[in-house]
Structure 1
Amino acid sequence: MTIEKANTIDHEILTEITKKAKAYWGYSDEQLVKWSNNLTITQDYIKRNDVFKLVNNNIIVGYYSYFSEEEKSMKLDNLFVLPEYIGKGFGKYLMTDFLNRMKEIKIEKITLDSEPNAELFYSKMGFVKIGEFETSIKNRFMPIMEMNLI
Protein backbone atom coordinates (compact mmCIF):
# COMPACT_ATOMS: atom_id res chain seq x y z
CA MET A 1 0.00 0.00 0.00
CA THR A 2 1.40 3.40 -0.97
CA ILE A 3 0.28 7.01 -0.87
CA GLU A 4 1.33 9.03 -3.88
CA LYS A 5 0.72 12.49 -5.26
CA ALA A 6 -2.30 12.33 -7.57
CA ASN A 7 -1.93 13.21 -11.25
CA THR A 8 -4.48 15.06 -13.36
CA ILE A 9 -5.21 11.79 -15.20
CA ASP A 10 -6.54 10.41 -11.89
CA HIS A 11 -9.51 12.80 -11.84
CA GLU A 12 -12.09 10.29 -13.12
CA ILE A 13 -11.21 7.54 -10.63
CA LEU A 14 -11.09 10.07 -7.77
CA THR A 15 -14.54 11.31 -8.79
CA GLU A 16 -15.80 7.72 -8.88
CA ILE A 17 -14.39 7.06 -5.40
CA THR A 18 -16.03 10.24 -4.08
CA LYS A 19 -19.44 9.40 -5.53
CA LYS A 20 -19.38 5.75 -4.43
CA ALA A 21 -18.24 6.69 -0.92
CA LYS A 22 -21.02 9.28 -0.62
CA ALA A 23 -23.59 6.76 -1.88
CA TYR A 24 -22.40 4.34 0.83
CA TRP A 25 -24.21 6.50 3.40
CA GLY A 26 -27.60 5.80 1.83
CA TYR A 27 -28.28 9.06 0.00
CA SER A 28 -30.81 8.76 -2.82
CA ASP A 29 -29.73 8.69 -6.45
CA GLU A 30 -31.64 11.96 -6.89
CA GLN A 31 -29.62 13.61 -4.11
CA LEU A 32 -26.34 12.30 -5.50
CA VAL A 33 -27.22 13.79 -8.91
CA LYS A 34 -27.90 17.15 -7.21
CA TRP A 35 -24.45 16.96 -5.60
CA SER A 36 -22.72 15.80 -8.77
CA ASN A 37 -20.75 19.01 -9.33
CA ASN A 38 -19.58 19.09 -5.70
CA LEU A 39 -18.55 15.44 -5.88
CA THR A 40 -16.56 15.82 -9.10
CA ILE A 41 -12.78 16.06 -8.93
CA THR A 42 -11.54 17.89 -11.99
CA GLN A 43 -8.09 18.04 -13.51
CA ASP A 44 -7.99 21.70 -12.53
CA TYR A 45 -8.82 20.82 -8.91
CA ILE A 46 -5.84 18.45 -8.83
CA LYS A 47 -3.60 21.16 -10.30
CA ARG A 48 -4.75 23.78 -7.75
CA ASN A 49 -4.77 21.64 -4.58
CA ASP A 50 -2.67 19.04 -2.83
CA VAL A 51 -4.19 15.64 -3.66
CA PHE A 52 -2.76 12.30 -2.56
CA LYS A 53 -4.05 8.89 -3.64
CA LEU A 54 -3.93 5.58 -1.80
CA VAL A 55 -2.83 2.74 -4.06
CA ASN A 56 -3.43 -0.87 -2.99
CA ASN A 57 -2.34 -3.67 -5.36
CA ASN A 58 -2.04 -1.16 -8.23
CA ILE A 59 -5.62 0.09 -7.68
CA ILE A 60 -6.49 3.58 -6.40
CA VAL A 61 -8.80 2.86 -3.45
CA GLY A 62 -8.91 6.25 -1.74
CA TYR A 63 -7.51 9.74 -1.55
CA TYR A 64 -7.35 12.95 0.43
CA SER A 65 -6.97 16.57 -0.58
CA TYR A 66 -6.29 19.81 1.22
CA PHE A 67 -5.51 23.46 0.75
CA SER A 68 -4.16 26.34 2.79
CA GLU A 69 -6.76 28.47 4.55
CA GLU A 70 -4.40 30.92 6.18
CA GLU A 71 -0.86 30.91 7.51
CA LYS A 72 -0.19 27.75 9.56
CA SER A 73 -3.74 26.46 8.89
CA MET A 74 -4.98 23.83 6.43
CA LYS A 75 -8.41 22.71 5.34
CA LEU A 76 -8.87 18.99 4.75
CA ASP A 77 -11.20 19.18 1.78
CA ASN A 78 -11.72 15.49 0.98
CA LEU A 79 -10.91 12.11 2.45
CA PHE A 80 -12.66 9.21 0.74
CA VAL A 81 -12.16 5.47 0.29
CA LEU A 82 -14.13 3.04 -1.83
CA PRO A 83 -17.03 1.52 0.14
CA GLU A 84 -15.50 -1.96 0.21
CA TYR A 85 -12.52 -0.48 2.13
CA ILE A 86 -14.56 1.50 4.68
CA GLY A 87 -14.08 0.24 8.23
CA LYS A 88 -10.87 -1.65 7.38
CA GLY A 89 -8.26 0.93 8.39
CA PHE A 90 -7.73 2.55 5.00
CA GLY A 91 -9.25 5.87 6.07
CA LYS A 92 -7.09 5.86 9.19
CA TYR A 93 -4.05 5.11 7.03
CA LEU A 94 -4.85 8.11 4.83
CA MET A 95 -5.52 10.35 7.83
CA THR A 96 -2.27 9.33 9.53
CA ASP A 97 -0.34 10.18 6.37
CA PHE A 98 -2.12 13.54 6.13
CA LEU A 99 -1.45 14.42 9.79
CA ASN A 100 2.22 13.45 9.48
CA ARG A 101 2.51 15.63 6.37
CA MET A 102 0.95 18.56 8.26
CA LYS A 103 3.33 18.12 11.20
CA GLU A 104 6.32 18.03 8.82
CA ILE A 105 5.39 21.42 7.38
CA LYS A 106 4.60 22.82 10.84
CA ILE A 107 0.88 23.40 10.37
CA GLU A 108 -0.76 24.47 13.64
CA LYS A 109 -4.46 23.98 12.87
CA ILE A 110 -6.55 21.77 10.58
CA THR A 111 -10.24 22.29 9.85
CA LEU A 112 -12.75 20.23 7.92
CA ASP A 113 -16.45 20.02 7.14
CA SER A 114 -17.43 16.46 8.00
CA GLU A 115 -19.93 14.21 6.31
CA PRO A 116 -22.36 13.76 9.25
CA ASN A 117 -21.92 9.99 9.08
CA ALA A 118 -18.12 10.37 9.34
CA GLU A 119 -18.09 12.62 12.42
CA LEU A 120 -17.25 9.71 14.74
CA PHE A 121 -14.28 8.75 12.54
CA TYR A 122 -12.86 12.27 12.72
CA SER A 123 -13.51 12.44 16.46
CA LYS A 124 -11.56 9.21 16.96
CA MET A 125 -8.72 10.75 14.96
CA GLY A 126 -8.59 13.71 17.35
CA PHE A 127 -10.80 16.32 15.71
CA VAL A 128 -13.25 18.34 17.81
CA LYS A 129 -16.59 19.69 16.60
CA ILE A 130 -16.56 23.49 16.76
CA GLY A 131 -19.80 24.23 14.88
CA GLU A 132 -22.13 23.07 12.15
CA PHE A 133 -24.12 24.33 9.20
CA GLU A 134 -27.32 23.16 7.57
CA THR A 135 -26.92 21.57 4.16
CA SER A 136 -29.21 21.52 1.14
CA ILE A 137 -31.07 18.66 2.83
CA LYS A 138 -33.46 20.01 5.44
CA ASN A 139 -32.40 19.12 9.00
CA ARG A 140 -29.04 17.67 7.84
CA PHE A 141 -26.11 19.44 9.45
CA MET A 142 -22.45 19.22 8.50
CA PRO A 143 -20.15 19.32 11.52
CA ILE A 144 -17.29 21.80 11.33
CA MET A 145 -14.32 20.15 13.00
CA GLU A 146 -10.89 21.28 14.04
CA MET A 147 -7.62 19.86 15.28
CA ASN A 148 -4.82 21.87 16.85
CA LEU A 149 -1.40 20.40 16.26
CA ILE A 150 0.53 22.60 18.70
Structure 2
Amino acid sequence: MDACRDELTVTPDQIVERTMLVAEEGGRLVAMAGLEPDADVLGLWNMFVTPECIGTGLGGVLFRAIADKAREAGARCLYIDSDPNARPFYEHMGARLVSESPSDSIPGRTLPRLRLDL
Protein backbone atom coordinates (compact mmCIF):
# COMPACT_ATOMS: atom_id res chain seq x y z
CA MET A 1 0.00 0.00 0.00
CA ASP A 2 2.88 2.37 0.73
CA ALA A 3 4.06 2.02 -2.89
CA CYS A 4 0.67 3.35 -4.04
CA ARG A 5 0.17 6.05 -1.40
CA ASP A 6 1.15 9.03 -3.59
CA GLU A 7 -0.97 7.84 -6.52
CA LEU A 8 -3.99 7.19 -4.32
CA THR A 9 -3.83 10.38 -2.23
CA VAL A 10 -6.62 12.77 -3.22
CA THR A 11 -5.78 16.48 -3.15
CA PRO A 12 -8.15 19.47 -3.01
CA ASP A 13 -7.10 20.46 -6.56
CA GLN A 14 -8.03 17.01 -7.87
CA ILE A 15 -11.45 17.27 -6.26
CA VAL A 16 -12.10 20.67 -7.88
CA GLU A 17 -11.15 19.31 -11.34
CA ARG A 18 -13.53 16.34 -11.25
CA THR A 19 -17.09 15.26 -10.66
CA MET A 20 -16.93 13.58 -7.26
CA LEU A 21 -19.44 11.58 -5.25
CA VAL A 22 -18.91 10.62 -1.62
CA ALA A 23 -20.76 8.59 0.98
CA GLU A 24 -20.57 9.39 4.68
CA GLU A 25 -21.61 7.49 7.75
CA GLY A 26 -21.71 9.31 11.05
CA GLY A 27 -19.76 12.21 9.54
CA ARG A 28 -16.97 9.88 8.34
CA LEU A 29 -16.11 9.32 4.67
CA VAL A 30 -16.79 5.65 3.84
CA ALA A 31 -16.79 5.68 0.02
CA MET A 32 -15.89 7.92 -2.89
CA ALA A 33 -15.70 7.91 -6.67
CA GLY A 34 -14.79 10.48 -9.29
CA LEU A 35 -14.84 10.96 -13.04
CA GLU A 36 -11.68 11.69 -15.03
CA PRO A 37 -12.71 13.90 -17.98
CA ASP A 38 -11.66 12.95 -21.53
CA ALA A 39 -13.72 13.93 -24.62
CA ASP A 40 -16.66 11.59 -25.24
CA VAL A 41 -15.43 8.97 -22.78
CA LEU A 42 -14.75 9.29 -19.09
CA GLY A 43 -12.58 7.34 -16.71
CA LEU A 44 -13.59 6.19 -13.27
CA TRP A 45 -11.19 7.90 -10.91
CA ASN A 46 -10.31 6.51 -7.49
CA MET A 47 -13.42 4.61 -6.45
CA PHE A 48 -12.94 3.36 -2.91
CA VAL A 49 -15.18 1.77 -0.31
CA THR A 50 -13.88 1.26 3.23
CA PRO A 51 -13.39 -2.41 4.16
CA GLU A 52 -16.25 -2.42 6.69
CA CYS A 53 -18.68 -1.22 3.99
CA ILE A 54 -17.65 -3.76 1.32
CA GLY A 55 -20.50 -6.18 0.71
CA THR A 56 -23.20 -3.82 1.99
CA GLY A 57 -24.35 -2.68 -1.46
CA LEU A 58 -22.84 0.78 -1.03
CA GLY A 59 -20.30 0.20 -3.81
CA GLY A 60 -23.05 -0.73 -6.26
CA VAL A 61 -25.10 2.33 -5.36
CA LEU A 62 -22.06 4.59 -5.74
CA PHE A 63 -20.98 2.99 -9.03
CA ARG A 64 -24.45 3.31 -10.57
CA ALA A 65 -24.62 6.95 -9.44
CA ILE A 66 -21.22 7.83 -10.94
CA ALA A 67 -22.17 6.02 -14.18
CA ASP A 68 -25.35 8.14 -14.28
CA LYS A 69 -23.21 11.28 -13.88
CA ALA A 70 -21.01 10.14 -16.79
CA ARG A 71 -24.10 9.53 -18.94
CA GLU A 72 -25.49 12.97 -18.02
CA ALA A 73 -22.14 14.50 -19.08
CA GLY A 74 -22.60 12.95 -22.53
CA ALA A 75 -20.10 10.11 -22.23
CA ARG A 76 -20.72 6.99 -24.31
CA CYS A 77 -18.60 4.76 -22.10
CA LEU A 78 -16.70 4.70 -18.84
CA TYR A 79 -13.17 3.30 -18.62
CA ILE A 80 -11.98 1.70 -15.39
CA ASP A 81 -8.38 0.89 -14.50
CA SER A 82 -9.22 -1.52 -11.71
CA ASP A 83 -7.37 -3.11 -8.86
CA PRO A 84 -7.25 -6.80 -9.84
CA ASN A 85 -9.25 -7.70 -6.73
CA ALA A 86 -12.06 -5.30 -7.72
CA ARG A 87 -12.36 -6.63 -11.27
CA PRO A 88 -15.20 -9.10 -10.42
CA PHE A 89 -17.22 -6.24 -8.89
CA TYR A 90 -16.95 -4.13 -12.04
CA GLU A 91 -17.79 -7.10 -14.26
CA HIS A 92 -20.84 -7.77 -12.09
CA MET A 93 -21.83 -4.13 -12.70
CA GLY A 94 -21.70 -4.71 -16.47
CA ALA A 95 -18.16 -3.66 -17.39
CA ARG A 96 -16.03 -5.90 -19.60
CA LEU A 97 -12.28 -6.39 -19.78
CA VAL A 98 -10.75 -4.65 -22.81
CA SER A 99 -7.01 -4.51 -22.05
CA GLU A 100 -4.44 -4.00 -19.34
CA SER A 101 -2.94 -0.74 -18.13
CA PRO A 102 0.48 -0.30 -16.51
CA SER A 103 0.44 0.64 -12.83
CA ASP A 104 1.77 4.13 -12.13
CA SER A 105 2.98 2.97 -8.71
CA ILE A 106 4.50 -0.48 -9.07
CA PRO A 107 6.89 -1.13 -11.97
CA GLY A 108 5.94 -4.25 -13.93
CA ARG A 109 2.43 -4.46 -12.44
CA THR A 110 -0.56 -4.19 -14.75
CA LEU A 111 -4.15 -3.35 -13.93
CA PRO A 112 -7.20 -4.69 -15.72
CA ARG A 113 -8.77 -2.00 -17.93
CA LEU A 114 -12.51 -2.41 -18.20
CA ARG A 115 -15.15 -0.59 -20.22
CA LEU A 116 -18.75 0.08 -19.30
CA ASP A 117 -20.91 1.08 -22.25
CA LEU A 118 -23.35 3.76 -21.20
One fold, TM greater than 0.5? yes
Aligned to 2:15: 46
When the two structures are superposed, what TM-score results if normalisation uses the length of structure 2? 0.88
How do residues 60-139 of structure 1 correspond to structure 2 at under 5 angstroms? 60-70=29-39, 72-135=40-103, 136=106, 138=108
Structure 1 vs Structure 2 CA RMSD: 1.6
2: CA distance, partners of 1:79 / 1:50 = 12
What does the per-residue CA deviation read over 1:98-129, in whole Å, with 9 as the maximum and x for residues that have no partner?
12222333321110101000000000001010
Larger radius of gyration: 1
Aligned residues: 116
Structure 2 gap segments, 5+ residues each: none
Q: Alpha-carbon deviations, 1:78-117, whole Å to 9, x = none?
A: 1101110011111101011112222333321110101000
Gaps (5+ residues) in structure 1? 1-31
Report the secondary structure of 1:54's partner residue: strand
TM-score by length of 1: 0.70
| Residue identity (%) | 27
Q: State the alpha-carbon separation in 2 of the partners of residues 78 and 39 from structure 1.
A: 7
Query: Which structure: greater strand fraction?
Result: 2
SS of corresponding position for 2:5 = coil
Alignment of 1:28-43 (within 5 A): 32-43=1-12
3-state SS, counterpart of residue 35 of structure 1 = helix
Partner secondary structure for residue 7 of structure 2: coil
